Amino acid sequence: MKREHTQQNPVNQPGSPALEVLHLSKHFELGETSTLVLDDITFCAGAGELVCIIGCSGCGKTTLLNILAGFIPPGSGSVKMDGNPIERPGPERCVVFQEDALFPWLSVRENIAFGLKRRMKKKLLDLEVERFLALVGLNEFRDHLPCEISGGMKQRVALARVLILKPQVLLMDEPFVSLDYHLRKEMQNLLVSLWKELGQTIIFVTHDIDEAITLADRIIVMDIAPGRINQEFNVGLPRPRSEEQTGYIFFRKKLLSSYGALSFNPDQTTIRDNPQEVWGGNPVSKHCSSSKASGRMHNPEIICQLFDNQDKAIGRKRYPES
């Protein structure tokens, strides 16, 4: 049965987070130097929620996803799924990377079937593969090798290959970053429709503010050096979203201007203090908000870098709006 994803998913109910990160800190040791990469990260994602994490290069987004995936251990603090500590990778949490990482010698169909080959009878598996081929629109290309299909198609195979495993949580690390603008939009729409159909909890990392606004129920903005959660807010726009919609333009403008305001005025009222007033959106659930308040001085260069990446991604000139 299809899950009903209304504007606000049935998430963030106190006591029911799918993923829960509490006071997570992580150091990396290089020789004799120990670097704090993540500092006191606290947030949660409710079941079926689509959370985007944005932040500039090096702020620790991939490190955070790797910890959620169980690839690397947390330093201090706790990381839980359905109340159980995440200590290793598990089939309930799947990762989609920037690179498609397909098996080049297997066809599209075989790549999608790969993870279930030993777990499902052939007849059932064939049916399941058919379903996912159709969901990602690759019926015609089922027998092609990865080298015979486009980059966008490869990412669709990568998505289908993971979704067929029915993970509860999908961890996505800039999966569409190498695609051109149109393909990227197409993949974003596809992701939202698959998410509506299948209902996973998704943590989606991106540099692209528009990608985050298009996709997310909630956006978490990270700071760098060390990586911290600076802001967190609900998007609250109806779907499907488009950059032309008044609400979208208003929201984006608010997002950009609030970045600017925060970057130069540390005394500015923070989003966490008064999200409704600043964003005109829904306040972030207290249950899920980060313990580290914002309001610290941002580095304007870092903010410019974030905007540059964003504008490059969509081929727009810098600072179109004041």
Ligand X SMILES: Nc1ncnc2c1ncn2[C@@H]1O[C@H](COP(=O)(O)OP(=O)(O)OP(=O)(O)O)[C@@H](O)[C@H]1O
Strand-pairing partners, residue 172, are: 96, 204
Nearer to ligand X, 112 or 170 (CB): 170
| CA atoms of 251 and 232, how far apart (whole Å) | 14
Taking CB under 6 A as the rule, does residue 59 contact ligand X? yes
Closest CA to 250 of 209, 280, 291, 284: 280
Q: Is 228 in the site for ligand X (CB under 6 A)?
A: no
From the list 2-10, 17-25, 54-62, 213-221, the region that binds ligand X by CB under 6 A is: 54-62
- Residue 226 in contact with ligand X, rule: CB under 6 A: no
Shortest distance in whole angstroms from residue 277 CB to Mg ion: 33
Give the separation between CA 108 and CA 141, rounded to whole angstroms. 7
Residue closer to ligand X (CB basis): 89 or 238: 89
> How far is 298 from 295, CA to CA, in rounded Å?
8
CB 294 within 8 A of CB 271: yes
Span near ligand X by CB under 6 A; candidates 17-25, 51-59, 110-118, 264-272: 51-59
Q: Answer left, alpha or beta for residue 99, where phi above 0 means left and psi between -120 and 50 means alpha.
A: beta
Cα–Cα dist 268/251, whole Å: 19
SS3 207: coil
Whole-number minimum distance, CB 194 to Mg ion, in Å?
23
The answer to the question of residue 57 lying near ligand X (CB under 6 A) is yes
147 counts as binding ligand X under rule CB under 6 A: no
Binding mask 76-105 for ligand X (x = CB under 6 A): ------------------------------
Cα gap 195→175, rounded to integer Å: 15
Residue 28 touching ligand X (CB under 6 A): yes
Taking the least distance from each CB to ligand X, the nearer of 30 and 147 is 30
Give the interface segment with ligand X, choosing from 1-9, 55-63, 155-163, 240-248 (CB under 6 A): 55-63
- Our finding on whether 58 is near ligand X (CB under 6 A) is yes
By beta-carbon proximity to Mg ion, the closer residue of 62 and 276 is: 62
9, 12, 42, 63: residue in contact with ligand X (rule CB under 6 A): 63
Total count of residues recorded for the chain: 322
Residues 6+ apart with CB under 8 A from 30: none
Work out whether 62 is an interface residue with Mg ion (CB under 5 A).
Answer: yes
**Number of CB atoms found within 10 A of residue 212's CB:** 23
Q: Considering only residues 16, 25, 62, 276, which one is a binding residue for ligand X as defined by CB under 6 A?
A: 62
Of 17, 46, 48, 60, which lies in the binding site for ligand X, with binding defined by CB under 6 A? 60
* DSSP character at residue 221: E
User: Which of residues 11, 19, 21, 37 is near ligand X by CB under 6 A?
Assistant: 37
The listed partner (ligand X, Mg ion, none) that binds 86, CB under 5 to 8 Å by sort, is: none
| Maximum Cα interatomic distance, the chain, rounded to a whole number of Å | 63
Closer to Mg ion by CB, 120 or 177: give it: 177
- Output phi, psi for 29, to 5 deg: -100, 125
- Give me the sign of the Cα torsion angle 225, 231, 236, 237: negative
Residue 30 binding ligand X, by CB under 6 A: yes
CA 116, 120, 126, 129 dihedral sign is: negative
Residues engaged in binding ligand X (CB under 6 A): 28, 30, 37, 55, 57-63
Residues engaged in binding Mg ion (CB under 5 A): 62
